[in-house]
Structure 1
Amino acid sequence: MTVREAGSRAHRGDAEGTAHALRVLRARWRTASIAAGWRFPSDWGLPEVDDVCSSAVREADLTAALAGLGRARAESGAGLDETLTDLAALHAVLTTEDSRDGLIATDPNAAPTQLLRAAALAWADASCGELRNAETTENLTSLSTHAYLRTRLGEVYRQAARAGVPVSDTHALLVVTLDLSSVTGWSRLMAMVLVADVLREVFDGGESIAILGPSVAVVLAERDPFFGDRALHAGWLVTERLTVDPQLASGQRPWLRVERLPDAQEDARALLHRVSRA
């Protein structure tokens, strides 16, 4: 009995030590990546980031984990240059002692070629795959994809041109953004599932609801007298539903805003890209 208790305490100690090492590595990597130029801190953390950290802490081969991260970065809208700079930040963290001020110099040319290759090939494969297989819905939330929303916007702009009215007079884009920078693991995915459920519940009259990034969802809706009330109700429901998870309940409130659609369709597509990385 004594031996089992001692072993149990040792096991708990090892587990706590590993968890602490994961948190420290993740925080140092995020700080270094943002300092190196990562543009949107709220969309840096993905489940695949945790996979890479876990492999690094266990001193396992990083190739498979980095390939998974490369694919995830492409699917979330991050460019290849930004993805590789993030990888260089990871390499700097893994090879540099923690400094007193926490800042680490990142050298984009220092990361091992095999790791860069794994991430870059996976990123490219995911990017090309998105073009080949333009699915209309995202698997996790069942919301429309970025590609489908672009198609839907094209229909709206063609209809507006035929009617001779500006799109900004007929439609609006409601953007729902969550700050998931401090949320890890499956809670990040659950947050967007909850957001998707709320938006489908509130906007149930044929509006186009899409997922644009790891923490961004949008609604393309007609401007009617009840649009503002529905938007406010959606914000209240999202806040309420997030309280089911302690990680999500302790974070910031969701940010809801209405984006005015520009006159030109190309400008609207550029707006979608900016929104997806906000």
Structure 2
Amino acid sequence: MGVREAAAGEVGEPTTTRRAGADEARALRWRWRTASLAAGWSYPADWPLDEVDQVCAAVVGTADPGPALHRLGGARAEGGASLAETLVDLAALHAVVEGSADSAGIVSPNVDAVPSPMLRATALGWGDVLSRQAASTSVDNPLTGLATGAYLRARLREVYAEARTAGRQDYLLVLVALDLDRTSGWSRVVAMTLLADALREVFDAGQTIASIGPSLAAVLVKKDERLHRTVGNLRLLTADRLAVDPHVAPTGPAEVWVEELPATYEQAAELVTGSGR
């Protein structure tokens, strides 16, 4: 019998019910923390938050956990946690709640298994805080972690100076675009974040990867005979990442193409600026 169903004379039952709920929330919090740390949470001392307790209370009770997850996402962003780490933490909560443990009793968080409403609420909370913190002078896009268009133009200036000295141009641009008109709201942010993750995985040798528009990213790469295969791998990996969520999948398939750098830096800067509009 719940608190609302308690008979008028049963004074002790609501107290007992509340105590049981609090005990259940504490137990969930402990299991969640254990699973999150095992999954690689970077700083154990930073994990406990009031927002964690609010999420636990909502999950074990009858309240919609969405608002609590939104606040948790914001708190994680304020604490310096990346979106990837925040979502792995969320996946640990989901795995614990669902009892997703292997034969040895080990919980294995899987972000792809987390329901979209939970992902949406947490990612929105994280993104809202990062949007407020964003500074126009930042060299990184705070949502995707990619370099800004301004930073890419600075790198291009260096590349053209190098080309004048060497007598040849060794670089080109790989451009990647998503169709964000096919979705809206938080899904656009998530789509670009997933694209950023795919770009960093494929181009992991120090290349400059920049966000140059709401739906467009660019990679400054050296000319390489393996580039054709690399571009193919990017298409496949991006498709896999976008397929995770039906709200995000319509933004793909990603359009990927290679641009030779024009003759002058000024033309290259205009190419970057114009492509991002």
TM-score by length of 1: 0.50
Q: Secondary structure at the match of 1:238?
A: helix
Q: CA deviation at 1:134?
A: 2.4
- Structure 1 residue 244, shift from structure 2 partner: 1.0
Percent sequence identity is 42
Rounded Cα–Cα distance in structure 1 between residues aligned with 2:205 and 2:247 = 32
Assess, with a 3 A threshold, how the Cα gap between structure 1 residues 247 and 223 changes in structure 2: closer, same or farther.
same
CA distance in 2, matches of 1:213, 1:247: 21
CA shift digits 1:196-232 (9 cap, x unpaired):
0011001011110000111101100001111121111
Distance in 1, matches of 2:252 and 2:173, equals 22
| Counterpart position of 2:224 | 224
Per the alignment, residue 254 of structure 2 pairs with: 254
SS in 2 for 1:250: helix
Amino acid at match of 2:166: A
Contact 1:194 1:241 (8 Å CA) reproduced? yes
Bigger Rg, which one: 2
Cα distance in structure 1, aligned partners of 2:249 and 2:182: 12
Please state how far the C-alpha of 1:191 moved relative to its aligned partner: 0.3
Deviation at 1:251, TM superposition (A): 4.3
Whether 1:153 and 2:156 are equivalent positions in the alignment is yes
Q: How does 1:127-142 map to 2 (within 5 A)?
A: 133-142=136-145
Residue 209 of structure 1 aligns to a residue in which SS?
Answer: strand
The alpha carbon displacement at 1:249 in A equals 1.9
8 Å contact kept, 1:143–1:209: yes
Q: Per the alignment, in what secondary structure is the counterpart of residue 139 of structure 2?
A: coil
**Alpha-carbon distance between aligned partners in 2 of 1:175 and 1:252, rounded to the nearest angstrom:** 14
The residue number in structure 2 matching 1:175 is 175
Deviations 1:16-41 (A, max 9, x none): xxxxxxxxxxxxxxxxxxxxxxxxxx
Q: State the distance in 2 between where 1:255 and 1:209 align.
A: 16
Instruction: Name the structure 2 match of 1:109.
Output: none
Q: How does 1:259-274 map onto structure 2 within 5 Å? A: 259-274=259-274
RMSD over aligned CA atoms reads 1.5
Structure 2 partner of 1:195: 195
Alignment of 1:17-36 (within 5 A): none
Aligned equivalent of 2:166: 163
2:258 & 2:214 partners in 1: Cα distance?
Answer: 19
252 and 195 in structure 1: CA distance in 2 versus 1, 3 angstrom threshold: closer
The answer on whether the counterparts of 1:136 and 1:148 sit within 8 Å (CA) in structure 2 is: yes
Find the residue that maps to 2:180 and give its secondary structure: coil
Counterpart CA distance in 2 for 1:208 and 1:139 is: 16
Which residue identity is paired with 1:200? R
How far apart are the structure 1 equivalents of 2:250 and 2:153? Answer: 34
Residues 178 and 253, structure 1, Cα contact 8 Å, conserved in 2: yes
- The corresponding residue for 1:276 is 276
Moved more, 209-218 or 249-258: 249-258
| Residue-by-residue CA offset, 1:154-178 (whole Å, 9 max, x unaligned) | 000000001111x2xx111000000
Q: Is the 8 A contact 2:182 2:250 kept in 1?
A: no
C-alpha displacement of 1:248:
2.2
The runs of 4+ residues in structure 1 deviating greater than 4 Å are none
**How far apart, CA to CA, are the structure 2 residues paired with 1:261 and 1:244?**
34
> Do 2:239 and 2:252's aligned partners in 1 also have CA atoms closer than 8 Å?
no
List alignment gaps of at least 5 residues for structure 2.
1-133
The Cα of 1:274 is off from its aligned counterpart by 1.8
Partner of residue 233, structure 1: 233
Task: Work out whether residues 176 and 254 of structure 2, in 8 Å CA contact, stay in contact via their aligned partners in 1.
Answer: yes
Q: Which structure's relative contact order is higher, taking Cα pairs within 8 Å and 6+ residues apart?
A: 1
